[in-house]
Chain A
Amino acid sequence: MRTKLFALLVVASILLAACASAATQAPTSQPPAAPVKETVVVKQTEIVQQTQIVEKVVEVTPTPGPNPEAVIDGVEPNAELTMWTFWLSPTFDDYIKSTIARFEQAYPGVTVKWEDHQATFLDDYRNAFAAGNAPDVANLSDTEGWVREFAQKGLLFNLSDNLPQSVIDQYYPGLFNLQLVDGKSYQVPWYQAVAVELINKQLYEEKAGLKADEFPTNFDAFPELCQTIKAKTGTLCDLRIAYTDILRDMAYQGGVDVYDPATKKFTFDSPEGVAWLQMYVDMAKAGTIDRNALLQEDRVGLDLFTSGRAAFYQTGPQLIREVRSNNPGMYGYLAVQPAPVGKSGALSPTSMAMSIKADTKYPKAAMALAVFMTNPQSQLEFSKIVGIYPSTPASYEDSFFTQVPVAIEDQARPIAKDIISKQADIVPEYPSPADVNEIVKKAVESALYNNVPAQKALSDAVTEANTLISQ
């Protein structure tokens, strides 16, 4: 009996505690608009025709005024969105949280649950689709081909047909039209990186006797430059081929037409393609490039440069701070020059994007969030805390982008608008990009490391790739 009484008391106290915690729950960081107490004068008529004045307290929730950042109409009320970003936490927690708070104020009732995924982002995203719980909005990489991978499988939301034209127009057209699938865009472009050439003046100028401000403006000059650097400094050139998308490098650097959409055939074994590959083969044979860095992750090249073992390195200026923290002594010897342009004459975008899953319950709210995160105001604020560049021309009208910067890592800021406005996707859509890249990678490796003639390696790869996509 005593036991039962005790159990009853425990249950009762738990219930009371639960009620108390619900009642005393702390307000969220961004509370909804507070109710306002107003005094309303009501005329109440009595049967005796006498007028009595009474006071009545009513709660009125003020209707939000037009918010210039709320550009999507008809957002689903009380939508609960999930959003994934790629490798932004914890460094940018404050920025992301404050932007979400602004979004929730602009679209009252809509809530956002944010998660940041890092090295396993792509696996997590694939698994989330398999499990049926993919986020409504996700930060995908255009450069890595993620948008096209998922859009080709019908998993992403068509933004070309669903966003108002006025919203589409706030982005650079070349960036909104990245990674098209059947001519439609499945992303809104977010932050961009501008490729620049970092130069270690100690090696490049003092030892090699070259001038940083005369750094080559096109790729053709690299073989001779690397020969000079090796002869004078004993170091190797730190060049890289984008091993996850080699055809992109062929197209931008070598001006190669890699695929013919009309015939649906690969054509990268053209004389231009062979010349592009032969340039790297010749440099590898001459021992003037670090073959270890050539077909590897960017990390390898950055480490080589940071540790003072490479005279120059192509990267985004945001990585200069890494040089400053890892090798402060070298920071004073840094120079920045525009990255050389390939035979295509076009500049390859390095773009992050926001995409929406095709079967989201809240398409309007998800579009509103993707657009809000990438709008000129949000991107301008992001640019001010890290060296990224907006995909929206309006952001560059701020004095932040027009003032002459002092720090070396900010040198690209005044020229970023010009560079980004010229970026465009020149590689046509083709099927099975990951499998085709494997074929091309083996061809390039065969020529570089196995003495297979460049022409034969590429022709064999074209045959294999065409067979693959015809199956």
Chain B
Amino acid sequence: MTKKLSLTPYLFLTPALLIIAVFVLYPILAVFYYSFTEYDIVTAPRWVGLANYQHLLQDPTFWLALRHSLIYLIVTPTLIILSILLAIAVNRNLPGIQVFRALYYLPAVSGSIAVGITWRWLFDTQGGLLNGMLIWLGVLKEPVQWLSEPAFTLPIAMLLTIWMGVGYYMVIFLAGLQNIPEELYDAAMIDGCNDWQKHWYVSLPGLRPQITFVAVISSLAALKVFDEIYVLTLRSGGILDSGVTMVFMLWKEAFRLSHAGYASAIALVLLAITLVFSVMNIRLQERDAGA
């Protein structure tokens, strides 16, 4: 017996597939092509073979940006630890706890540009809150020029990322905590565990799927960080490129310096790195599912 091929499902799929083809597939293929060209956006691309990739290997800014992107991954474990601690803190039935949950989540729903501008004010040299407080407390005698010190650019951006992300990941861990059966905590208590041990032996193993998930998505987000750097450094990337990450370099090369071909090569290298993280994600999730 032969199955009759029905076109109906394909007709339903066509609009979505067309959109994906135009807005996802075509740009990916175009970037792949442009990475082998010298292209300034306004005039026709010129084929240069592997020249962009060769230049990439010799470009100290690329290696600096890659290093910064990898350093930025420090936000991932920090976010996980802080989010879990916050989730545990708000996972109790106290009066007004909903208010705290909402407050912690607030940065996650605030626009990154608005938050970045606010942080610029916090770290401002002459009128910033941080300098004002430190001088008032007697820690500093003169204001520190936080945002023009190359050593501070990346740490301030990472702090901002953590501050914005911690509430969002807290909600994920909170959902995970509320799925852990109460009996497990009762059993741990009977076994003589104190509060800290209960969380170590019950909460953390119970949160393993969420930890894996958060580790992967936050590390991918860290590799792709752009908004924080863009706003905090006012589109400059920081003094001596102190805040330049892979995506920022890509943007700068494409849209500030009109090197769209070179930027395409950077995009493909970034794609390769994020693919590695995605594969790790799949492997970890498979391992969790099998455990």
CB within 8 A of A235: which of B126, B147, B148? Answer: B126
Chain B interface size, as a band, is 20 to 34
Residue from the set A299, A434, A445 with the largest chain B CB neighbour count within 10 Å = A445
Mark A431-459 against chain B: 1 for CB-CB distance below 8 A, else 0.
00011001000100110111000000000
Inter-chain contacts of A434 with B (CB < 8 A) = 256-258
Contact residues on A (Cβ < 8 Å of other chain), bracket: 35 or more
- Closest-CB distance, B132 to chain A (whole angstroms): 12
Q: Decide yes or no whether B142 CB sits under 8 A from chain A.
A: yes
| Interface-lining segment among A52-60, A285-293, A404-412, A418-426 | A285-293
Q: Which residue of A lies closest to B241 (CB)?
A: A442
B272: Cβ under 8 A from any A Cβ: no
CB proximity to A under 8 Å, residues B234-291: 234-236, 239-241, 255-258
**Is B126's CB under 8 angstroms from A236's CB?**
yes
Within 8 A of B (CB), among A270-297: 287, 290-292, 294-297
Instruction: Name the contact of A297 in the complex, choosing from B41, B234, B240, B256 (C-beta under 8 A).
Output: B234
The 8 A CB mask of A147-180 against B (1 = contact, 0 = none) is 0011001110000000000000000000000000
Q: Which residues of A contact B241 (CB under 8 A)?
A: 442
Interface contact B41-A127, CB-CB below 8 Å: yes
* Pairwise interchain contact A296-B145, C-beta atoms closer than 8 A: no
Contact pattern, B 69-93, Cβ under 8 Å of A = 1, otherwise 0: 0000000000000000000000000
Q: Is the CB of A445 within 8 A of B43?
A: no
A123 touches B125 (CB 8 A): no
Interface pair A296/B236, CB less than 8 Å apart:
yes
A153 touches B145 (CB 8 A): no
Instruction: Give, as a whole number of angstroms, the nearest-CB distance from B136 to chain A.
Output: 15
Min Cβ gap B165→A in Å is 26
Q: Does B40 have its Cβ within 8 Å of any Cβ on chain A?
A: yes
Q: Tell me, yes or no, whether A22 is within 8 Å of chain B by CB.
A: no
For the complex formed, measure the closest distance between the CB of A470 and the CB atoms of chain B, giving whole angstroms: 16
A-chain residues with CB within 8 Å of residue B42 when the two chains form the complex = 126, 129-130, 150, 153, 155
Known A-B contacts A445-B240, A449-B240; A130 and B41 likewise in contact (beta carbons under 8 Å): yes
Give every chain A residue within 8 A of B240 (Cβ-Cβ): 442, 445-446, 449-450
Q: Say if the beta carbon of B150 comes within 8 Å of chain A.
A: yes
Q: Is the CB of A435 within 8 A of B257?
A: yes
Interface of B is mostly: loop
User: Given that A442-B240, A449-B150 are contacting pairs, would A304 and B43 also be in contact in the complex, using a CB cutoff of 8 Å?
Assistant: no
Chain A, residues 13-35, CB within 8 Å of chain B (1/0): the string is 00000000000000000000000
B125 touches A292 (CB 8 A): yes
Indicate whether A296 sits within 8 Å of B234 (C-beta atoms), given known contacts A155-B42, A291-B145, A449-B150: yes
Residue B27 CB within 8 A of the other chain: no
Bound CA–CA A243/B256 (angstroms):
13
Complex CA gap A290/B125 in Å reads 8
**Chain B minimum-CB-distance residue to A125:** B42
Given A153-B43, A434-B258, A438-B257, residue A292 in contact with residue B127 (CB < 8 A): no
Q: Which of B149, B234, B255 contacts A123 (CB 8 A)?
A: B255
A300 interface contact, C-beta 8 A: yes
Contacts known (A292-B145, A292-B148, A435-B257); A449 close to B41, Cβ less than 8 A:
no
Contact (A126, B41) CB under 8 Å given A236-B126, A445-B240, A449-B239: yes
Of residues 118 through 132 on chain B, the ones whose CB sits less than 8 Å from some CB of chain A are: 124-127
Contact with A along B26-45 (1 / 0, CB 8 A): 00000000000000111100
B-facing residues in A81-126 (Cβ within 8 Å): 123, 126
The 8 Å CB contact of A295, one of B41, B125, B150, B236, is B236
Q: Which residues of B contact A442 (CB under 8 A)?
A: 240-241
CB proximity of A457 to chain B, nearest CB, Å: 11
Contact with A along B127-155 (1 / 0, CB 8 A): 10000000000000010010111100000
Q: Is A217 an interface residue (CB 8 A)?
A: no
- Residues of chain B within 8 A (CB-CB) of A129 are 41-43
User: Does A309 make an interface contact (CB < 8 A)?
Assistant: yes
Residues of B within 8 A of A297 (CB): 234-235
A307 at the interface (CB under 8 A from B): yes
- Within the assembled complex, what's the spacing in Å between the Cα atoms of A307 and B124? 12
Which residues of B have CB within 8 Å of A127?
41
- Determine which residue in B42, B147, B236, B240 has the highest number of CB atoms from chain A within 10 A of its CB, and name it: B42
Q: Which of B126, B150, B255 contacts A304 (CB 8 A)?
A: B126
Least CB distance from A123 to B in Å reads: 6
A445 and B147 CA atoms in complex are apart in Å by 14
Complex Cα distance A133/B258, Å? 19
**A469 to B234 alpha-carbon distance, docked (Å):** 28
Report if A445-B239 is in contact (Cβ < 8 Å); known contacts: A130-B42, A235-B126, A296-B234.
Answer: yes
Bound CA–CA A243/B124 (angstroms):
20
Kindly list chain B residues whose C-beta atoms are within 8 Å of the C-beta of A435: 257
Evaluate contact between B257 and A287: CB separation under 8 angstroms.
Answer: no
B142: chain A residues at CB < 8 Å are 287
Question: Given the complex of chains A and B, what is the CA–CA distance between A295 and B258 in angstroms?
Answer: 21
Contact of B145 among A290, A304, A445 (CB under 8 A): A290
Shortest B12–chain A CB gap in Å is: 26
The answer to whether A291 and B148 touch (CB under 8 A), given A123-B255, A235-B126, A309-B127, is: yes
Nearest-neighbour CB distance to chain B for A275, whole angstroms, equals 22
Bound Cα distance from A299 to B43, whole angstroms: 32
Which residues on B sit within 8 Å (CB–CB) of A450?
A: 150, 240
Set of chain B residues within 8 Å of A130, measured between Cβ atoms: 41-42
Contact of A309 among B40, B41, B126 (CB under 8 A): B126
In whole angstroms, how far apart are the Cα atoms of A296 and B232 in the complex?
A: 11
Measured between beta carbons, the chain A residues less than 8 angstroms from B124 are 292
Closest 4 CB pairs of A and B: A129-B42, A291-B148, A292-B148, A309-B126
With A126-B41, A292-B145, A449-B150 given, name 9 new contacts (CB 8 A).
Answer: A129-B43, A130-B42, A291-B148, A292-B125, A292-B148, A295-B236, A296-B236, A434-B256, A442-B241
18 A-B pairs with C-beta separation under 8 A: A123-B255, A126-B41, A126-B258, A150-B42, A153-B40, A155-B43, A236-B125, A292-B124, A292-B125, A292-B145, A292-B148, A296-B234, A296-B236, A297-B235, A434-B258, A442-B241, A446-B240, A450-B150
B residues bordering A, Cβ < 8 Å? 40-43, 124-127, 142, 145, 147-150, 234-236, 239-241, 255-258
Q: Which residues of A contact B (CB under 8 A)?
A: 123, 126-127, 129-130, 149-150, 153-155, 235-236, 243, 287, 290-292, 294-297, 299-300, 304, 307, 309, 434-435, 438, 442, 445-446, 448-450
